[in-house]
Amino acid sequence: MFRVLNYLTIYLSFLHIVHATSRTSPPTGAKIVRAGTANSGEFSTPSAAVNSLPNDSSSQSIFIYPGTYTEQVSITRVGPLTIYGYTTDTSTYKNNQATIQFGLDAGQAGSDDASGTLRIHKDNFKMYNVNVKNTFGVGSQAIALSQYGDRVGIYGCGLYGYQDTLLAEQGAQVYLRGYIEGATDFIFGQRGQAYFGGNTIGVKGAGWVTASGRSSDDSTSYVFNANTIVTASGAFSNATSRQYFGRPWSNYAKYVGIHARSGEAHIPGRVIFKNTVVTAPFNTALWSEWSTSTPNTDHVFFADYNTSGGGVSGASRPSFATVLSASQAAAYTISSAVGSDYTSWVDTSYVV
């Protein structure tokens, strides 16, 4: 029996290996980014490759060889663009070898968006197996990925920061089979229609996974399905019992001082977590008000369904949180989050 199990294990790990697909050379027609390159026609940074593209409606692609590229990259071209990172396993973020990083906070940059290491201000964008980091660290908003496009897919990518890692600000967007790390409000935005499936979410310190700042009673939402929330490597000790699924962002509460965007009233929050495994030790409330003086909980829809894992043992949710039944949960899908035409722009092989 032992021998049979052993053979089974070997057979299963073999299956896993054969299912891993590598992407270690550029797809036909892609612009090539290679650190330190002297080859004619290649680019030594992602921004140089992006800036070389025609600003027309043509479809373009970029392939990034292994390396750490320290710069901000802003993308505004009109036509579709796909960026591929070098990897030995396209199905996961774990083998990514191309990293774009920068360390700038919103105070220095002038706005959340301007601090972004990678800023997407275009529609029809895909990115595979690239890591994007804001290395600023603790103390202020410092965005890794600032996303303002429509029909945007982020596949097998790693997004790293501490406060406000991912600005999922507007447009239909999906994040699939990747990694998202942070502590304070690290997935946030106002009008994003976002779906998150099969990601690992890494908690670095005390805080809130999401801070939805939905600006009106519109149809936008953040829908999470089958993600795993873990303690990030190198997490601070205050990650324990001081992390939540989310809190409702109010513009006034957040943008006092340097970020004043006066006049915008915010009705916060519609966030749904389905089928989540939480191993990071959450606060037993699971959901939080914005602050004691500004709770912002009047209009929130904060819901979870089939949450499991040691991190949520003894959960005792506040009255503004909802636990969904199976039939209620069935209404929140990739289609409800980003639109029923999603198969026309999402890489469905990554959908969880």
Ligand X SMILES: *[C@@H]1O[C@H](CO)[C@@H](O)[C@H](O)[C@H]1NC(C)=O
Residues that bind ligand X (CB under 6 A): 55, 76-78, 138, 205-206, 226, 236, 238, 275, 277, 306, 308
**CB-wise, 153 or 205, nearer to ligand X?**
205
Q: Based on CB atoms, which residue is closest to ligand X, 55 or 241?
A: 55
Least distance to ligand X, CB of residue 265, Å: 27
286: Cα within 13 Å, side-chain hemisphere: 29
- Least distance from ligand X to the Cβ atom of residue 277, Å: 5
Nearer to ligand X by C-beta: 206 or 280? 206
Sheet holding 207-212, edge to edge: 73-75, 118-120, 145-147, 166-168, 187-189, 207-212, 243-248
Q: What residues contact 28, with CB distance under 8 A and at least 6 apart?
A: none
End-to-end CA separation in angstroms for the chain:
34
Mark 207-239 as b/e (b = at least 16 C-beta within 10 Å).
Answer: bbbbbbbbbeeeebbbbbbebbbbbbeebbeeb
d(CA 141, CA 152): 23
Which C-beta is closer to ligand X: that of 86 or that of 280? 280
Q: How far is the CB of 174 from ligand X (least distance, A)?
A: 18
Q: Which residue is nearest to ligand X (CB)?
A: 275
> Nearest distance from residue 236's CB to ligand X, in Å?
4
Task: Detail the DSSP E strand segments found in 276-342.
Answer: 277-278, 301-305, 321-323
The Cα 286–Cα 27 span in angstroms is 44
* Shortest Cβ 261–ligand X spacing (Å): 21
| Residues annotated as part of the active site | 185
| CB nearer ligand X, residue 51 or residue 95 | 51
Contacts of residue 143, defined as CB under 8 A and 6 or more positions apart, other chains included, come to: 106, 112, 113, 115, 116, 117, 134, 161, 164, 165, 166, 167
**Ramachandran class of 254: left when φ > 0, alpha when ψ lies in -120 to 50, beta otherwise:** alpha
Cβ proximity to ligand X: between 206 and 232 the closer is: 206
**Chain centre distance of CA 195:** 9
Q: Minimum Å distance from CB 53 to ligand X?
A: 8
